[in-house]
Structure 1
Amino acid sequence: MPNAPLADSIEAIRRAARLLVRELGFMGGDFAGGDLSPSAVHALIEIAASGVTAGGVTARDLGFLLHLEKSSVSRMLRKLVVGGDVEEQVGGDGRVKILALTEAGQRRVMAIHAFARAQVSAALARLQPGQERVVLEGLQLYAEALSAAVAYSPALPAVEIAAGYRSGLIARITQMHALYYAQNSGFGQRFESVVAGGLAGFSDRLDSPRNAIWAALRGGEIVGSIAIDGEDPGVNLAHLRWFITDGAVQGSGAGRRLLAAALDFVDAQGFEATHLWTFSGLSAARHLYEAHGFELVEERPGQQWGKEVLEQRFVRQGR
């Protein structure tokens, strides 16, 4: 039996969780500003944000990510397809159907994110300065602890964060980027070539103490990556690059752990700031960056990836 102080904490956490569920709308009525069920809202977000493996995110992937039975996923997806938010496409090998958002679905997800950001902003505005970090760190710790049973089950090897180059790293990181952005942003050969060339050149500079790269590994397979390039000429500025996770580890905390490893390195090296380039439309990534102290400082149209996008630069000041 838990001791008295621990028992008190357990009951207090349960009470807070019940209040959170009610206030977020899980008990009925409008959820996330729309008419969809919570599971459908989460499904749309995962379809929009997930990395691509074997050609795309599937109904089976959603079942794993959302902890839903196959029949529940099928019913939910049928409604989303009929409603015009999701479309099914034949996978590369012709044996599976991959899921993608329609234009209407993309607009729906943008509205969901806008509603959620406004909801969070309104709540944080009622706190004292600095308390938002307490909320963020507490929720992250609790969420990762709850998901540990899945992320570390015997049937699914634990995700390990490992520093340094390893065989196959360049090819695997390039593959994850090429597949994900081909489906979600329409990028093609030009983008893949830029990623492969830049990553190969950076790997030749890993002997510098200002540069580092990390891989997320599950069962020896590379399922995520992140790098810090600290050799921008003439400035004490860190460049965060090649941050991606495989769809198979979405929800496991692998992305947050990769980002934490990179930012710990940045802080230990004493960089004045860390910047990264991304582009408009990657809502889930932006949310993660902003949760770790990055702020949008610049936007401009760019075509270096083979398709015009609104490029965005985020900066996190040194600690």
Structure 2
Amino acid sequence: MESVQHVEKIRKFNRFYANLLGKIDQEIYHKPFPLTEARVITEINSRNGSTATEVREVLGIDKGYMSRILQRFEEENVIRKERSSEDQRQFLLYLTESGKDIYHQLVDDADREVGKMIQPISKQNQSKLVSSMETIESIFANDPASRTEVTIRSFQPGDVGYVAHLHGTLYSQTYQFGSIFEYYVMKGLTDFLLDNEGGNLWLAEVNGQIVGSIAITRSSERVAQLRWFVIDESYQGMGIGKKLMDTAIAFCNEQEYHHVFLWTVSILETARYLYQKYNFTLTEEKSNKEWTGSTLLEERWDLELSTPKP
């Protein structure tokens, strides 16, 4: 009986979600590239050197229809074909430069429409929504490779601007910080780019998407400052903060810093809790009237690196 109820609930969800996706698809995919053709472009971009058969089988497209799509794409300079070095009978598919432009436009359109769809939803429910989708994907895929993968890496060209974007977006939407705060962040990051000796900036990625950052900068020969620690709220609760903190503290030890400090604000309760877990101590407080329409309490937290860490 319970199994029957599960089936009915799954079918009910499928009907609801199919209707929801249909509305999104109508907004995103239109002439000259309807949904199926857009999916083919996306798959070719993702695989970057797959055969027509591989793309067709993944997407479940009729062989004749697939052939017509590829013929049109080739005529319109969306794709190019290269003979396989391993099997001369097969051709590998790649997007042309024009095709890549089309792909990026499709992504921009999709991001815009999905953003409009979730905009009325609270941040907390957005996080639940994404988590539920990941759970569904993981269960049906039953493949460890499809599960959420969190990685920490050093910054690369283009990353610093995204770190500023993360700060500006999060603090504006969640805490109503003004543009002066974003200027403060960008100024510090610009100075870091010009001189980052003795420091580093790390990015946290979830399945390849940047969702957080942390940095260490040199304050003096033996003293470091922890800066630009931020995590997209949609990805909190995944242990990303701990991974970033572990990376930053390990770097301080490698650089033989004796002391590390940071500045935060009292309203960031989750971050303050993490600092306490790492044995940082609150050492100084001061008022700040610049970043929001009300008075904030800035806090300095300090850590002697000889202190045992969790």
| Residue number in structure 2 paired with 1:212 | 200
Contact 1:63 1:69 in 2 (8 A): no
| Residue number in structure 1 paired with 2:271 | 285
Compared CA separation, residues 250 and 65, structure 1 to 2 (3 A):
farther
Secondary structure of the residue that 1:193 maps to in structure 2?
A: helix
Structure 2: gaps (5+ residues) = 1-117, 137-142
| Residue number in structure 2 paired with 1:61 | 127
Letter in 2 for 1:197: K
Q: Which has the higher helix share?
A: 2
Query: RMSD in angstroms over aligned alpha carbons?
Result: 3.1
Contact 1:295 1:315 in 2 (8 A): yes
Higher deviation after alignment, 268-277 or 283-292:
268-277
In 2, the alpha carbon distance for the partners of 1:305 and 1:202 equals 21
TM-score when scaled to structure 1? 0.51
| Residue number in structure 1 paired with 2:209 | 221
User: Which of these residues, 153, 160, 164, is aligned with residue 151 of structure 2?
Assistant: 160
| Residue number in structure 2 paired with 1:314 | 301
Equivalent positions of 1:119-158 (< 5 A) are 154-158=145-149
In 2, the alpha carbon distance for the partners of 1:67 and 1:221 equals 16
User: Which of these residues, 209, 233, 247, is aligned with residue 233 of structure 2?
Assistant: 247
Higher relative contact order (CA 8 A, sep 6+): 1
| Residue number in structure 1 paired with 2:178 | 188
Secondary structure of the residue that 2:165 maps to in structure 1?
A: helix
Compared CA separation, residues 203 and 54, structure 1 to 2 (3 A):
farther
Cα offset for 1:294? 0.5
Residue 266 (structure 2) pairs with residue 275 (structure 1): no
In 2, the alpha carbon distance for the partners of 1:203 and 1:214 equals 13
Secondary structure of the residue that 1:270 maps to in structure 2?
A: coil
Structure 1: gaps (5+ residues) = 1-52, 71-151
Contact 2:176 2:292 in 1 (8 A): no
Cα offset for 1:62? 2.4
| Residue number in structure 1 paired with 2:93 | none
Cα offset for 1:199? 0.7
**Percent sequence identity over matched residues?**
30
Contact 1:194 1:305 in 2 (8 A): no
In 2, the alpha carbon distance for the partners of 1:160 and 1:68 equals 17
Secondary structure of the residue that 1:274 maps to in structure 2?
A: strand
Could you say which structure has the larger radius of gyration? Answer: 2
Cα offset for 1:187? 0.6
Secondary structure of the residue that 1:223 maps to in structure 2?
A: strand
Provide the aligned length of Structure 1 versus Structure 2.
183
Letter in 2 for 1:312: E
Letter in 2 for 1:162: R
Equivalent positions of 1:83-122 (< 5 A) are none
Contact 2:181 2:291 in 1 (8 A): yes
Residue 169 (structure 2) pairs with residue 176 (structure 1): no
